[in-house]
Chains A and B, each alone.
Chain A
Amino acid sequence: MTFAVTLGLDTLSFMLALLLVTLGLVVIFGLMNVINMAHGEFFLIGAYCVVLIQKIGLSYWWALLLAPIVLIAVGLIVEELVIRHIYRRFIDSILATWGISLVLKQLIVIVFGATAQSVDSPIPGPVEILGVTYPAYRLFIMGVAIALSSAMFLLFYRTPIGLAVRGVIANRAMAASLGINTRRLDRATFAIGAGIAGVAGAVMAPIMSVDPQMGVGFLIPAFLSILVGGSGTLLGALTGTAVISSTSVLVSDVWTQVVAQVVVFTLSILVIRFFPRGITGRRS
């Protein structure tokens, strides 16, 4: 019984952590259709905000404030300098954002060094839940993931701004002719996606080894989640992360991590082959 509860919590924890990392990508890749190879570095900068805050000697919680502010600024700059020139140019966007990714990663190395930094957990120790002891901070991550996804859902599906953003994505020319400043919305949407990636990085930092390579580990499953679940909707991302994370946790628990990777990739290939628009995507 306790084994099942722990496995369930592990799956849920990994799924929600993956969802947290995927959320920013849902906005930038899922909604805006920009393949952003630098998304892992946005996540990375968020994590280094925690390192910076810790070095200054402030409490961890300040990092949760600093990370989105820094990443929104980074997002605005990157959008203005590079991204706005490559909307709807897929190959160019992969190359250009890969370049941004290299630059950001090297900047981090220059400022903080190439070695891994450790970050103290702000909520150390385990708690009792459903008859098992479980790390308290993992529960906090789950809470943040749920809160942030809900906030995003409300922003994009229940506010006029969200409606305008979705309208611009659905039909840019028509939205413009209805008076919507599409340029300004592109900028804001990209910055929001970057900001969410920053929060994810800051929240994940205490349970990961914070080093310049940490962004990559989550980037691939995050992209896979969106492709498997279906891009353009939050529901798709939710389904995708559920499929990827549960497969990955269950298989690696029974066999090994390597087998889990193989299964996840095979499954993704099959899903994308038979549901090109993802599990939740409508077939056209």
Chain B
Amino acid sequence: MLIVRDLAAGYQRGSRVLDGVTLRIERGEVVALMGRNGMGKTTLMKAIAGHLLDATGLIIFNGVEILGLAPHQIANFGVGYVPQGRDIFSDFTTEENLLMGVVGKKQLPNRVPDWVYDLFPVLAERRRQFAGTLSGGQQQQLAIVRALVGEPILLLLDEPSEGIQPSIVQEIARTIRKIAGQRNLTILVVEQNLEFVLSTASRCLFMENGRIAEEAPVELLRPGSSLVQKYLSV
């Protein structure tokens, strides 16, 4: 489904943010990407979504080599991207934000599919409201659903729990689990929140100094376990 091999990229000369990332994700898997700040997690997500111009190596998605393609082409191959900080269109209404998820996809009709408002009644209530006035948790849901209406095969989620109150984090985790199951969606999620990872992912990759240092099934990830000590504690 997704194969990344020897991916390298760097913002500055001398220090490479990504230094030979190699990973493989199978269809329908939910994989968490963990690690301390500055280890290259967000950069890796950007590289897969097509936002890094200087990346070298190999990224194969669904049998297609996507490294070097433009972001809109990658999106049209079925990669949905929810960036860190959500990047919702705050001056647009909730509904317009959702429409943004379909207008770029040629095969999809230009309207918000019905299942959205059934699944997310909060968004239905606020469909005419400017997205900038939604709470952090609602904005995060909006960003995820905006990606989902584009019918991706692979969803890239960058820190969905960031800046959101704990009760909402659990709700978002539940939604993600439900959607992944229903649609056989493959998800790669960057997350610092251990509980979130435990309740959504089946496998965890640890990133250190621009590479995947280790991987483990989530069962081994109890708070205080050696993996958590090694890759996450500050």
Return chain B residues, CB-CB under 8 Å to A174: 83, 87, 89
**Which residues of chain A come closer than 8 Å to B231, judged between CB atoms?**
none
State in angstroms the CA–CA spacing of A137 and B75 once bound together.
50
Bound-complex Cα distance A176 to B71 (A): 5
User: Distance in Å from the Cβ of A191 to the closest Cβ of chain B?
Assistant: 19
Structural contact, B92 and A170, CB atoms closer than 8 A: yes
Count of A-B contacts with CB under 8 A?
A: 69
CB closest chain-B residue, reference A171 = B87
What is the number of residues of chain B that contact chain A, defined by CB distance less than 8 Å? 26
Q: Does A254 contact B (CB under 8 A)?
A: no
CB distance from B158 to the nearest CB of A (A): 11
CA gap between A194 and B91 in the complex, in Å: 26
Query: Which of the 9-residue segments A30-38, A59-67, A177-185 touches chain B?
Result: A177-185
Give every chain B residue within 8 A of A276 (Cβ-Cβ): none
In the complex the two chains form, is A179's CB within 8 Å of B99's CB?
no
* Shortest beta-carbon distance from A160 to chain B in Å: 4
Instruction: Tell me the bound Cα distance from A175 to B150 in angstroms.
Output: 12
Quick check: A179 and B92 within 8 Å, CB to CB?
A: no
Looking at the assembled complex, report how far the CB atom of A273 sits from the nearest CB atom of chain B, in whole angstroms. 25
Cα A160 to Cα B91 with chains together (Å): 16
The docked-state distance in angstroms from the alpha carbon of A215 to that of B110 is 40
B92 near A176 with CB under 8 A, answer no
> What per-residue 1/0 map shows which CB atoms of B59-83 lie under 8 Å from chain A?
0000000000011101110000101
Q: How far is the CA of A225 from the CA of B103 in the complex (A)?
A: 32
A207 within 8 A of B: no
**CB <8 Å contact, A180 and B92:** no
Q: Which residues of B are found within 8 Å of A161, using beta-carbon distances? A: 103
B103's partner among A171, A173, A180, A183 (CB-CB below 8 A) is A180
* Of the residues A160, A170, A177, contact of B89 by C-beta under 8 Å: A170
Known: A171-B89, A176-B72, A179-B72. A164 touches B100 (CB 8 A): yes
- Does A208 touch B at the CB level, under 8 Å? no
In the complex, whether A163 has a CB less than 8 A from a CB of chain B is yes
CB distance from A232 to the nearest CB of B (A): 9
Decide: B71 and A173 in contact? CB cutoff 8 A. yes
B35 in the interface (beta carbon within 8 A): no
Q: How far is the CB of B118 from chain A (nearest CB, A)?
A: 22
Residue pair B150, A179 in contact (C-beta under 8 Å) = yes
Q: Judging by beta carbons under 8 Å apart, are A180 and B104 in contact?
A: yes
- Residues of A near B49 (CB, < 8 A) are 177
Chain B: minimal CB distance from A284 (Å): 11
Q: Roughly how many angstroms separate A24 CA and B221 CA in the complex, as a whole number? A: 59
Q: Point out the residue from B75, B103, B105, B110 that lies within 8 Å of A176, measured CB to CB.
A: B75
Cβ of A274 to closest chain B Cβ, rounded Å: 23
CA distance A176 to B52 in the complex (A): 13
Report chain A residues within 8 Å CB of B92: 163, 166-167, 170
**Min C-beta distance of B154 to chain A, whole Å:** 12
Which residue on A lies nearest to B51, using beta carbons?
Answer: A173
- Closest Cβ–Cβ distance, residue A65 to chain B (whole Å): 29
A residues within 8 Å of B by Cβ? 160-161, 163-164, 166-167, 170-171, 173-183
Cβ contacts A to B, 29 pairs, < 8 Å: A160-B103, A160-B110, A161-B103, A163-B103, A167-B100, A170-B89, A170-B92, A171-B89, A173-B51, A173-B71, A173-B87, A174-B83, A174-B87, A176-B70, A176-B72, A176-B75, A177-B49, A177-B74, A177-B75, A178-B75, A178-B104, A178-B146, A178-B150, A179-B72, A179-B76, A179-B104, A179-B150, A180-B72, A181-B72
Known: A176-B75, A178-B100. 15 other contacts (CB 8 A): A163-B92, A163-B96, A163-B99, A164-B100, A166-B92, A167-B89, A167-B103, A173-B87, A174-B89, A176-B72, A177-B75, A178-B150, A179-B75, A179-B104, A183-B70
- In order of increasing CB-CB distance, the 3 nearest A-B pairs are A179-B104, A180-B104, A179-B75
Q: Which residues of B contact A (CB under 8 A)?
A: 49-51, 70-72, 74-76, 81, 83, 87, 89, 91-92, 96, 99-101, 103-105, 110, 146-147, 150
